[in-house]
Structure 1
Amino acid sequence: MFATRFDPSASQNGSQKVADKKARLLGKLKRKNRNHDSTKETQKNNELPTEDMDGDSEMKDAYSENQSGENQVDKSSDEQTLKRKRNGSDSDSDSISDSSSDSESESESDGETKAVLDEETKMTHSSIISRFKNAMEKQPNPDTEETEMDMEIEPIELKDVAPLPQFKLPRDKHLYSQSYKNKSLDWLTKPAYYDTSITKPFQDFQPSIHSIIMKNLKNEFKAENAFSVQVTLIQELLKDIIRGKLDPKPRGDYLINAATGSGKTLSYLVPIVQYIVGSSSEIRIKDSGIQSIIIVPTKPLVHQVYADALKLTKGTDINVMALKSGGDVSISDERKKIGSKLVDILITTPGRIVEHLDILDVKALRFLVVDEADRLLNQNFQDWCDLVMDKIETTYNAENEGLDLKFKLRCIKLVLSATLTTNSEKLTHLRLFRPRLVIVNSESTSELYQLPRTLDEKYLRIPEKLSYFKPLILLRFFQWIDKSGFLYNNSGLIFTKSNESSIRLNKLLNIMADKFGMGTQLSIGSINSMMDNQERAKMLKKFDTNGGILICTDLLSRGINLNSIKFVINYDLPGSTKEYIHRIGRTARAGNIGSAVTLCYGDGEFKWFKKVVYSGQQINRNGKNIVDIKFVKDRAEAEENADKETEEKTDVFELNLTDGEKQIYEECLKSL
């Protein structure tokens, strides 16, 4: 009925008994292990050879002493164990003398010892064992795994991914106007074609051209009749200028694709000057700001357009400025002049205008001209296009805020090139407004590029093994005369692939001309982008006046208008169809006669030339074919094997290099 009362002394005595029992059992187990080890050592020592044991008396004595010492230790440990047993329990005192009872007690003590050790191991590692059991229970059973795989997999219901609901865009006026302007690209697929044979006197234009401009056209440019591109663009722009005075509704932009040498520069300069000058009864505000910006790709083209603008504005108060990097005027002086708002027409390269964009005032801008647009859009230096268009659009929106789209003033963009790109992604950067694509071509065909009517194309195919003598072959070509009696030794351009090639070829040709006694017949010079503006302008003026041979790079392939150029030779092949058109377009300009010759060494260059020239059938040659100049080493042998009728109509280039000529050529290369 009553609970057992807790006795602290009893608990201490119980724990002490357990500890004593544990120590006694552990001692007995150690003694047993020691006896077992000594028995093994005794057996090993007994198995030793008798010869060794008899021969070493000292080893025998040590062995016997060791055995006696161990026996004494064992006896002492046994006596201590017996004393502990007598003190621990009185009931076990009678069983000590009995040997059989000793063996039974030893076996019982061994079992108790193992049980205690197992219990301690379980208590010490219980947490580890429990975690191990949990982990083993989580492992998959290989027997049940096969059965689960055999079970049929329930089909998963597939659902379509529905788009997330989107908010409607706000009907912002600016966004609406942009989508309205670029809602269709039909103007790219439906261009307006104009025949290249159309000409018209400037005095018959309606609306009429200002008298000062007419005078400058006649005296400075010696031009009385307008070419096809001039007739098309000048008349349309003059009509837009007159309509803009009565109706401020914005006009569309123009994209002009016309052949090289067709007069594109005057086609946009005449309307711009006409707009700035106005009629004689009007008073012009001189400090209104920049009214026209003309962007061209190269510095030589800046100088050329600047010179033409000065000629056309002669006798007027129009201020024309050209941004010339590396010229006499520093950047700080240019910024002061631009900030004075006294500049009417600004001619620049894209990189130069970006430097002055922060102070540029375009409030009065009415014309933006992008000449050689395909090259400008391809290079896109410093992201000039987006920066300039952002400047114009920001000013346009700020100045016309609150006005309706139909009555906002905006500048007309004129985009011109002989190889105008039709890539809508690149044209998008110009942010065109109601663009009109005008192609000046002889017929309404799919051919986009137009060559001058008076241009003759030829090519010379030379074996590849003679490419080592390429400069010597060019020197011999200067002495060649074709069937029409034309001599290729004066007023010609030689196009190379790089500045280094042009400089090296110029030096080598001058050395060879002296060695072969042709120094008095040839005047060879070089022009490249490494020269400064003054030196380049001086070289061009000398060539235009005195003639000679001018070795150049693609720097001169665009926009250079020199009517004195009679032929062009592609010493190195052009990189594309567009570059080929621009190179050969330096001759046969403004109705003059010209010839273009391409040198092809080996089958590889000839295949590339065919790919460039006939690529996609994009070039309109006005019904002409490319003439193949026949290459022979022995003219007499070639004439015997050739048909006389075809031989009389075919141009033949004979090249029979002697050992003496080859030796002189080697000496020239060493002296270079």
Structure 2
Amino acid sequence: MFAARYDPTGSKNISTQEKKEILLKKLKNKKNIQQNDEIIPEKDHDGDIQMENEDNEIAEETNNKRKREEIGSDSEDYSSDSSNSESESDLDSDSDSKSNSQQIQEDDSINIKNAHKSVLTRFQKVMKKQPLVNGQDEEIEEQNIEPIEVKDVAPLPQLQLPRDKQLYSQIHKNQNLDWLTKPAYYDSTTTKPFIEFKPKIEDIILKNLKNEFKIENAFSVQITLIEELLKDLKRNKLDPTPRGDYLINAATGSGKTLSYLIPIVQQLLTNGNKIKDLGLSAIIILPTKPLVQQVYSDLLKLTKGTDINIMALKSGGDLSINEENKRLKSNLINILITTPGRLVEHLNLNSINLQNLRFLVVDEADRLLNQNFQDWCDLLMNKIENNDNNDTFNNDIDKLFKLRCIKLVLSATLTTNSEKLTHLRLFKPRLVIVNSDNQQELYQLPKSLNEKVIRITEKLSYYKPLILLNLFKWIDKFDNKYNNFGIIFTKSNESTIRLNKLLNELNKSFGLNNKIDCINSMMNNQERNKILKNFDETGGILICTDLLSRGINLTSIKFVINYDLPTSTKEYVHRIGRTARAGNSGNAITLCYGEGEFKWFKKVVYSGKQINRNNKEITDIKFVKDKNDINNEGKEKDNNNDNSDIFELNLSDSDKEIYEKCLKDL
């Protein structure tokens, strides 16, 4: 054996090397077989041992082992025989060894595959149970996911809202009163004698109208409201069905006060019972104490010669609140005139019996609803409705057929604000607009009123009182003077007092005889009434605030001057409405200093087409401050044949010195 394997000549080195490789492979195969024999059988996922497969694999491995041993022995014999044989060549031995080695390699590869077959099968089973790799999983999911349709991010289409004529915006509602009821327009130029009214007015009322008020013909608003109310009162004697409330919008000075006073007095006189037993039949609410005093005076004249009891509630009056409370609880008052603040005090004291209330009048309604004193409106409406509801459970048949209280809401600038009007809780309201030519504007100016504006440079605003004093000396092209029976409107109580003192000082310094006085809210009623009476009889200049812009009925007023600009269109209408009343002529002048005030004036007066001027325009008075400007204006006037007015202002140095001195003395 040793001789056969050792070759000192080195002729068979290649075959020997191949033999070594074969032996090494055999050793490796034996080790693998031993390791496979020691493998513990695993359990499958069901817990059963795979015994049959392993037995078969062991049998195959033993057969392969036997084959390898046989091949090894044959190769040894073959090598010994070949070494002793001298006839075979080296080339044949090499080819035989190569063929044997290739066959052994093929058998080893087969044995390796068979030896690891069980391991591979188990590995394949385990891998089938494992989740897919992330990359593979995502690829499969991407293949299975359907493509998403890409859409724009525009908003989804919405259903179209139904079109309804009743779906108005709040702004649209506040432009007019069409949302509440359809207006009825009446011509402001219509007149009619009181004696021709149907139903007929009581003789004692006609007598007092002629003797106390010096009137025999009614204006348009009086014709409309008086006749309609008298018809309602006549129907209700047989039919208690309520007819509805009234909203009255008429120009200042059109006679609104008498339009509601006459029906109230008529109802009390024709009731059929004693007036003393009727109790409280009417409440008239007014915004200011001067207006309360004026309506109270008109009622005293209208009820002269009757047993009707009238009471005016006002703070600072002749009676204290306790004395007023006693008189009201006596149930002898038929008509109550009051401001909202005083009314709330008595409602809280439960001193007012609303059981027989037939009329509720809200005069100057826009101002009263804007200044809701202590929620007077809701408080009063709750009292009236609670009283009506409690009476319906009374077994008395008279209570079951109780007549509803009629609400009369009046103003020259009636509010169109839906939120404010709802506080009045109107029932079937009827809107009456007294307007010329059936125009759609809610604010109506008297036809005999002329509006004027004077634009003055802002540099001269320091001499504003001195310019006003010169205006008293001015005469327009129609020979109208502005120094007697006129009202000057300012912005505050302090400005009225200061301007009054300064103008009186300037009067003395310049040797003028203008009669100037003032009225403000800090005065008591007696002092105020005295000044108004004196002004109405003897004339002069009266300086006041917007306190007198509401309801003061003085037909003697010839002109109004807006010394300070009004704060709103409504205030402008009420201010200039103090003149040209009851068909008399009147003028209204507004002073504007600088472009800023003039723009504000245009915004207040011209905006929104709210004012009906009866096809008239505001006259722009040309302002000149020296003689050169006067001459130039005169030349332009001749060339253009212009008949416009010119306000001439000649302020000398001495005039300015006197003005400065008066300011220091003040």
TM-score (norm 1): 0.71
In structure 2, relative to structure 1, the CA distance for the partners of 1:223 and 1:646 (3 Å cut) is farther
Corresponding position of 1:351:
341
Aligned 8 A contact 2:181 2:431 in 1: no
Corresponding position of 1:622:
614
Corresponding position of 1:297:
287
What CA distance in whole angstroms lies between the structure 1 residues aligned with 2:639 and 2:441? Answer: 34
- What amino acid is the match of 1:500? E
Aligned 8 A contact 1:187 1:436 in 2: no
Corresponding position of 1:426:
420
Corresponding residue SS for 1:459:
strand
Give the superposition deviation at 1:646: 4.7
What CA distance in whole angstroms lies between the structure 2 residues aligned with 1:668 and 1:597? Answer: 26
What CA distance in whole angstroms lies between the structure 2 residues aligned with 1:404 and 1:615? Answer: 53
Give the superposition deviation at 1:647: 5.8
Corresponding residue SS for 2:381:
helix
- What amino acid is the match of 2:219? F
Give the superposition deviation at 1:404: 13
- What amino acid is the match of 2:478? S
Corresponding position of 2:536:
544
Deviations 1:608-627 (A, max 9, x none): 00000011011001111100
Report the number of matched residues.
493
In structure 2, relative to structure 1, the CA distance for the partners of 1:345 and 1:522 (3 Å cut) is same
Corresponding residue SS for 1:246:
coil
Q: How does 1:173-188 map to 2 (within 5 A)?
A: 188=180
What CA distance in whole angstroms lies between the structure 2 residues aligned with 1:215 and 1:192? Answer: 31
1:196 aligns with 2:188: yes
Give the superposition deviation at 1:445: 2.6
In structure 2, relative to structure 1, the CA distance for the partners of 1:237 and 1:567 (3 Å cut) is same
- What amino acid is the match of 1:353? L
Corresponding position of 1:653:
647
Corresponding residue SS for 1:415:
strand
1:612 aligns with 2:612: no
Corresponding residue SS for 2:376:
helix
In structure 2, relative to structure 1, the CA distance for the partners of 1:204 and 1:645 (3 Å cut) is farther
1:259 aligns with 2:221: no
Corresponding position of 2:368:
376
Corresponding position of 1:452:
446
- What amino acid is the match of 2:493? N
In structure 2, relative to structure 1, the CA distance for the partners of 1:605 and 1:186 (3 Å cut) is closer
What CA distance in whole angstroms lies between the structure 1 residues aligned with 2:239 and 2:223? Answer: 24
What CA distance in whole angstroms lies between the structure 2 residues aligned with 1:591 and 1:445? Answer: 20
Worse-matched range after superposition: 305-314 or 439-448:
439-448
> Which of residues 331, 350, 356 is equivalent to 1:364?
356
- What amino acid is the match of 1:664? I
Corresponding position of 1:417:
411
Aligned 8 A contact 1:259 1:418 in 2: yes
Q: How does 1:25-64 map to 2 (within 5 A)?
A: none
Aligned 8 A contact 1:187 1:437 in 2: no
Give the superposition deviation at 1:642: 1.0
Q: How does 1:490-529 map to 2 (within 5 A)?
A: 490-518=484-512, 521-529=513-521
Corresponding residue SS for 1:234:
helix
TM-score (norm 2): 0.72
Corresponding position of 2:550:
558
What CA distance in whole angstroms lies between the structure 1 residues aligned with 2:317 and 2:273? Answer: 34
Aligned 8 A contact 1:441 1:450 in 2: yes
What CA distance in whole angstroms lies between the structure 2 residues aligned with 1:571 and 1:591? Answer: 25
Aligned 8 A contact 2:236 2:403 in 1: no
Corresponding residue SS for 2:433:
strand
Deviations 1:244-285 (A, max 9, x none): 001011120000000000000000000000000117xx3325
Give the superposition deviation at 1:214: 0.4
Q: Percentage identity across aligned positions?
A: 71
Corresponding position of 1:309:
299
Corresponding position of 2:165:
none
What CA distance in whole angstroms lies between the structure 1 residues aligned with 2:465 and 2:364? Answer: 32
1:227 aligns with 2:211: no
- What amino acid is the match of 1:216? N
- What amino acid is the match of 1:198? T
Give the superposition deviation at 1:637: 2.2
Aligned 8 A contact 2:560 2:575 in 1: yes
- What amino acid is the match of 1:424? S
Corresponding position of 1:489:
483
Give the superposition deviation at 1:648: 5.2
In structure 2, relative to structure 1, the CA distance for the partners of 1:197 and 1:331 (3 Å cut) is same
Deviations 1:576-597 (A, max 9, x none): 0000000000000000010000
Corresponding residue SS for 1:643:
helix
Unaligned runs of 5+ in 2: 1-133, 149-155, 157-176
- What amino acid is the match of 1:322? A
RMSD across aligned C-alpha pairs, in angstroms?
Answer: 2.3
What CA distance in whole angstroms lies between the structure 2 residues aligned with 1:542 and 1:646? Answer: 45
In structure 2, relative to structure 1, the CA distance for the partners of 1:413 and 1:546 (3 Å cut) is same
What CA distance in whole angstroms lies between the structure 1 residues aligned with 2:493 and 2:215? Answer: 36
Q: How does 1:120-139 map to 2 (within 5 A)?
A: none
Deviations 1:116-163 (A, max 9, x none): xxxxxxxxxxxxxxxxxxxxxxxxxxxx9xx99xx999x9xxxx9xxx
- What amino acid is the match of 1:573? L
Give the superposition deviation at 1:287: 3.0
Unaligned runs of 5+ in 1: 1-143, 161-184
> Which of residues 257, 264, 277 is equivalent to 2:269?
277
What CA distance in whole angstroms lies between the structure 2 residues aligned with 1:382 and 1:327? Answer: 21
Give the superposition deviation at 1:366: 0.1
Corresponding residue SS for 1:356:
helix
> Which of residues 310, 314, 330 is equivalent to 1:320?
310
Give the superposition deviation at 1:288: 3.0
In structure 2, relative to structure 1, the CA distance for the partners of 1:186 and 1:568 (3 Å cut) is closer
Corresponding residue SS for 2:438:
coil
